[in-house]
Structure 1
Amino acid sequence: MHLQIVPASAGLKWAKQGLRTFWRQPLAMTGLFFLFMTTVSLVSIVPFVGSALALIVLPGLTLGMMAATQTASQGKFPMPGVLFAAFKAGPHRKTMFHLGGLYAVIFLTVMLVSTLVDGGTFAKVYFGGAQMTPDVVTTDSFQTALWVSMLFYVPLSMMFWHSPALVHWYGMPAVKSLFFSFMACWRNLKAFTVYVMVWGVIFMLSAILALLITALMGNPQLMTAAFLPMALMVAGMFFTSMLFSVRDCFSTDVDDEQSAPPPSAD
């Protein structure tokens, strides 16, 4: 396995490949993302430890979406079980849980840092322990905690962007996968900047479309009914595009070709 440097235009290509692959199996990919969210929600309601457990399973479920994308890109229909591929019996299952544990610890540390700024209000809102009201979110302390959390979450995302795939397909240890994932994002920062900008535009356009649909129907109360399915679909498209960044940022040796995802096509 070798880290590769890609041009900035690769970010646009990843988004296009994700969109194209999603529309090959739109019902399956939307349904799998809904199952993804449902699983996280169900795990999070476990008394006392639910929030931590939800964080632990996130990397494995993200790998499941990548595996589903790999299936869809081959013209096949991804079945629901593929979402849990990382948790099935295999040589890398324990490492995936190790990776999930690291994600939970680092993420909770970020939330702990935010509590030093606003006394824990942002963390309570994030984990559902407090309501998100205009009076709360407009306070200076909440806004500062939000930006501090985002500042720390960017390197966290970089560490865990590729790591589930590196553990599952390349057999890499959890900590080592975090290093290689961060370096892949850092060395290809221009491509990922373009990638994030493209998806920002797509999410914004979907929100505008939902507003237009609501306006045409003449009923503002239908905004939620129009926006939620569209947001679910666009989020499914985004997760579908993640695999292609892994394919481009890491090349495989001959010995790895049977286990690793195939290289991305132009």
Structure 2
Amino acid sequence: MKLNVVPAKTGSLWVRQGIRAFWKQPLALSGLFFMFMASMSILSIVPVLGGFLALMLLPAASLGLMAATREVELGKFPMPFILAAGFTTGKDGKRNMLVLGVFYALGFIGVMGLSALVDGGDFAKLYLVGGSLEMDTLMKPEFQNAMWLSLMLYLPLSMVFWHAPALTHWHAVPVVKSMFFSTVACLSNWRAFLVFGLMWSFIFLGTTLAITLISGAFGDNDFAAMALLPAMLMLAAMFFCSTYYSFKDCFTSDVIYA
């Protein structure tokens, strides 16, 4: 396995490949993503440790969606058990995936903790626990500063864990090394990831704007409320499909992914 540096335009290719893979099996991949979201939501409502467990399983779940995308690319139908692919590689593989999940959960909680120092925990509480967002709260400078700080801190965290689950699962890379290699790969290919991120931002914002304009044109506010959620879920599923292609291009290897 070795690092592969790709041109900036490859970022747009990852987006197109993810969208194309999704539409090969839209019902299956939508269902898997819904199962992924439902599992995280159910775990998060468990008292005391639920939120931590949900965060801990996120790297393994994202790997499952990458594995499902690979199945689709090979012309196969992704079965529900593919979401647990991260825990099917023996004792060492299971332990590495759990350790990776613990590191991710601690990192994410650390990001939220630092944001709490800015606004007293309002943003962290809303993000982790949920609830309604009042306009007065949103307009507070402290809340906005906490939101932007969280975003700035989450970007490096996401680089650390972007490729790590796949490296651990498919290449048996130790946890710390997988996090290091993931960071190096993202930094080395920052131009492609910048294009990738910008394109997905435009797609999400453009879809939201289109649905809002259609709703306004017909004078039907209920249309936007009904259409936005499924549209965002489908786009999120496409996004996770595209992460598989970013990993596939950032690392070259003779290993056949299984």
The answer, yes or no, to whether TM exceeds 0.5 is yes
Deviates more, 1:122-131 or 1:99-108: 122-131
The alignment of Structure 1 onto Structure 2 pairs a total of residues equal to 257
* Letter of the 2:184 counterpart: M
* Letter of the 1:157 counterpart: S
What does the per-residue CA deviation read over 1:215-263, in whole Å, with 9 as the maximum and x for residues that have no partner? 35431123110111111111111111000010100011x4xx23x37xx
**Counterparts of 1:124 and 1:130 in 2: how far apart (Å)?**
9
C-alpha displacement at 1:89, in angstroms?
Answer: 5.8
Map 1:89-168 onto structure 2 (within 5 A).
Answer: 90=90, 91-128=92-129, 130-168=131-169
Task: Report if the CA contact (8 A) 1:15-1:238 is conserved.
Answer: yes
Q: Does 1:2 align with 2:8?
A: no
* Letter of the 1:14 counterpart: W
C-alpha displacement at 1:31, in angstroms?
Answer: 1.0
- Structure 1 gap ranges (5+): 262-266
Map 1:62-77 onto structure 2 (within 5 A).
Answer: 62-77=62-77
Task: Report if the CA contact (8 A) 1:214-1:226 is conserved.
Answer: no
Other structure's SS at 2:6 match: coil
Residue matched to 1:244: 245
Residue matched to 2:185: 184
Other structure's SS at 2:100 match: helix
Name whichever structure is richer in helix by fraction: 2
Deviates more, 1:80-89 or 1:36-45: 80-89
What does the per-residue CA deviation read over 1:152-189, in whole Å, with 9 as the maximum and x for residues that have no partner? 10000000110110011010111111110010000000
Normalized against structure 1, the TM-score is what? 0.93
* Letter of the 1:242 counterpart: T
C-alpha displacement at 1:86, in angstroms?
Answer: 1.1
- Structure 2 gap ranges (5+): none
State the percentage of identical aligned residues. Answer: 47
Other structure's SS at 2:129 match: coil
Q: Does 1:231 align with 2:219?
A: no
**Counterparts of 1:18 and 1:53 in 2: how far apart (Å)?**
28
Judging changes above 3 Å, is the alpha-carbon distance between structure 1 residues 37 and 129 closer, same or farther for their aligned structure 2 residues?
closer
**Counterparts of 2:28 and 2:210 in 1: how far apart (Å)?**
23
* Letter of the 1:198 counterpart: M
C-alpha displacement at 1:106, in angstroms?
Answer: 0.8
Residue matched to 2:86: 86
C-alpha displacement at 1:208, in angstroms?
Answer: 2.1
What does the per-residue CA deviation read over 1:98-147, in whole Å, with 9 as the maximum and x for residues that have no partner? 00000011111111111111111111111125531111111010001111
